[in-house]
Structure 1
């Protein structure tokens, strides 16, 4: 007998697009929930907007990046602007536990999807909203993407510049989206528990902006008090040499993070820089900080003698806390990633097997790997409407009138 999935009795209705909110729904699906994705008639605008994988054969042109945030879901394509479309959503919410969306407040109300409006249909529904900046305040109306609301507005981009004159580096796709998706997921799980205990519906929300600020909470714990700018330090301005990043002989980088007072002797021994232990200028943290530019140059020179992978065993022998700065292609082949099944295999009904990315949640004895690939737009329109009580004639009429869509046979 297989172990039940933790959410296999939960039904989720989602109306969202792009990556942040869909990523939360994808993890709910991984955990066993039946997730019904309501898309526009033309499909989620995220479809086919990102780089294609460099593959030939059955998967050539397949949208793997969309698949990450939409695996395991069922798709129904609905015209939300129509009375019939809004009625369909309310019908689906009658039997749902969670409604999840990333619509701004005025659009929720326009389409009859605000918490109060949906609670008239299902008084126990958990209503979850993800926005750029929150549903209160002077900029609740403002749309936001992760590069603008998460990285830009929150202070993340500015705080990560290399020194005071460093340029702002662009984040990789959906870093802020997926982090915020995890915040939304945690709120949904808490609200489900509360709805179960109280028997009443719950409204929860998060935003890209506030989640990003939380990721900087260690800095903001001080900045919220003194309101002083954060000191942005280049490699030559770091406080301690044993918490810095350095290039190796093959151009690959390594990063260290150790308290310097205890680690400094072992750090010097690993690099063959024992002479620095006798340098009177470098006998304490302040002395090393005052001469940090020279220390960094000496470490760079020492590390240039070997490629990164040859340094690893030497660092481990000296019990240094370090990590290689890997390329994404290296992480996919990393033995540690393989050991924790970070890139599980999914079976596509038509094309075969492919690898994807597992959510960062593991439950002992429970397989929470993705269960199936993402749907095509409206793939399950007829099936979902049938389950909701629509007969074939009504479904045919909705399709003929352009209120819902399904793929061509």
Structure 2
């Protein structure tokens, strides 16, 4: 079967996780993705070495791998005119150029939209930044914890009450969400470039994507400008849409309509006395007595494990979900059925599990093409395909414009 993007070539100049994650998705969809790195590599290389991994694989960079698998790497000195010429040579034969450089750095390295579209008048120029390329803070560097979670209001919305501690997100949640937004923009721009024969310039940012993820809240907040009301469990609007611990310390989340589900929940947890209790007769009454109700549900659920309650909930038609630990998701039969953790094969460590992209195709070849590249291991092949002679490549290597890393060498 063909891959959706097997005729698309992508040049990416990026680092860390957000834009690289978009490149990984495009590579899984079949695109030829060339990662342009500085001579000392993307700073994400080697950034994470989890201590809990066994000794034989602890030095393999799994976090870098998931955002850079299936790509080819070329290491170039973008600060030199020769290095910029090399990248322009690659751009001339590409369909997409992606970067996460702030505008002033794009201009410094000759990678701004005006320069790139002059080199290739049919290319898609795509930028991902922290706060956008216009406005008073377009200059500000942004990471997902600052631009996505902090500036957008997500952290504040997640606090349990106005005095609650600000939570901390897990790594790259905002990066990967914004990477998906960039993929969507690139695919739409490719379609438009194909129809018009003209270059397209698109962008997204961590800040913009974060606001979109909270569109349900902002649909109201953008109008009334009122602070969001943070809700602890004891301050939720309805008890049938809340989270509760079970007897084994594991949690469940319920999400059901307020009126019709209330008597059902009462029957399932064997609190029939609540059904006719005047205090709980309607939504207002239940909200006024929410601390008592939450305490009562906690007490009822404490008599069985999460899995035992799950079987009961399923049998009785309760809409619920388990709060799984990450280690549980890695072994979840539903995750296995969806192919969320595909197996790749590395020449360094052999077979290992990675993380699948959140899309599946019935009649196309979609999935990881292989592990992430070593720094500069594709330099010579990439430049040869771009039309440079062996002598020209040797000169670029000799004057440190590019780094040539034979495949037999390690990082």
TM-score by length of 2: 0.97
Aligned 8 A contact 1:12 1:97 in 2 = yes
Deviations 1:325-369 (A, max 9, x none): 000000010010011111111122343211110010111122312
Aligned 8 A contact 1:52 1:64 in 2 = no
Task: Flag the 1:212–1:55 CA change in 2: closer, same or farther, 3 A.
Answer: same
Shift of 1:54: 3.5
Deviations 1:219-244 (A, max 9, x none): 11111111011111110010000000
The residue aligned with 2:209 is 211
What secondary structure sits across from 2:358 in the alignment? coil
The residue aligned with 1:11 is 9
The residue aligned with 2:90 is 92
Shift of 1:26: 0.4
Aligned 8 A contact 2:20 2:67 in 1 = yes
What secondary structure sits across from 2:275 in the alignment? helix
The residue aligned with 2:331 is 333
Q: Distance in 1 between matches of 2:18 and 2:191?
A: 23
Deviations 1:41-74 (A, max 9, x none): 0000011112437343653310001001000000
Task: Flag the 1:392–1:53 CA change in 2: closer, same or farther, 3 A.
Answer: farther
The residue aligned with 1:136 is 134
Q: Distance in 1 between matches of 2:214 and 2:230?
A: 14
Task: Flag the 1:60–1:51 CA change in 2: closer, same or farther, 3 A.
Answer: closer
Aligned residue among 220, 237, 240 for 2:238: 240
The residue aligned with 1:387 is 385
What secondary structure sits across from 2:249 in the alignment? coil
Aligned residue among 352, 362, 365 for 1:364: 362
Aligned 8 A contact 1:154 1:212 in 2 = yes
Aligned 8 A contact 1:150 1:211 in 2 = yes
The residue aligned with 1:192 is 190
- Greater alpha carbon shift after TM alignment, 306-315 vs 56-65: 56-65
Shift of 1:129: 0.1
Q: Unaligned stretches of 5+ in structure 2?
A: none
The residue aligned with 2:399 is 401
The residue aligned with 1:257 is 255
The residue aligned with 2:299 is 301
Alignment of 1:110-129 (within 5 A): 110-129=108-127
Q: Distance in 1 between matches of 2:96 and 2:51?
A: 33
What secondary structure sits across from 2:351 in the alignment? strand
Q: Distance in 2 between matches of 1:23 and 1:53?
A: 24
What secondary structure sits across from 2:268 in the alignment? helix
What secondary structure sits across from 2:366 in the alignment? coil
Aligned 8 A contact 1:53 1:64 in 2 = no
Q: Distance in 1 between matches of 2:49 and 2:185?
A: 31
Q: Distance in 2 between matches of 1:312 and 1:339?
A: 20
TM-score by length of 1: 0.98
Shift of 1:122: 0.6
Shift of 1:121: 1.1
- Greater alpha carbon shift after TM alignment, 190-199 vs 298-307: 298-307
Q: Distance in 2 between matches of 1:142 and 1:164?
A: 28
Q: Distance in 2 between matches of 1:239 and 1:35?
A: 48
Q: Distance in 2 between matches of 1:162 and 1:272?
A: 29
Shift of 1:286: 1.0
- Is residue 56 from structure 1 mapped to residue 46 from structure 2 by the alignment? no
Deviations 1:150-205 (A, max 9, x none): 00000000011012221111000000000000000000000000000000000000
Q: Distance in 1 between matches of 2:234 and 2:52?
A: 39
The residue aligned with 1:31 is 29
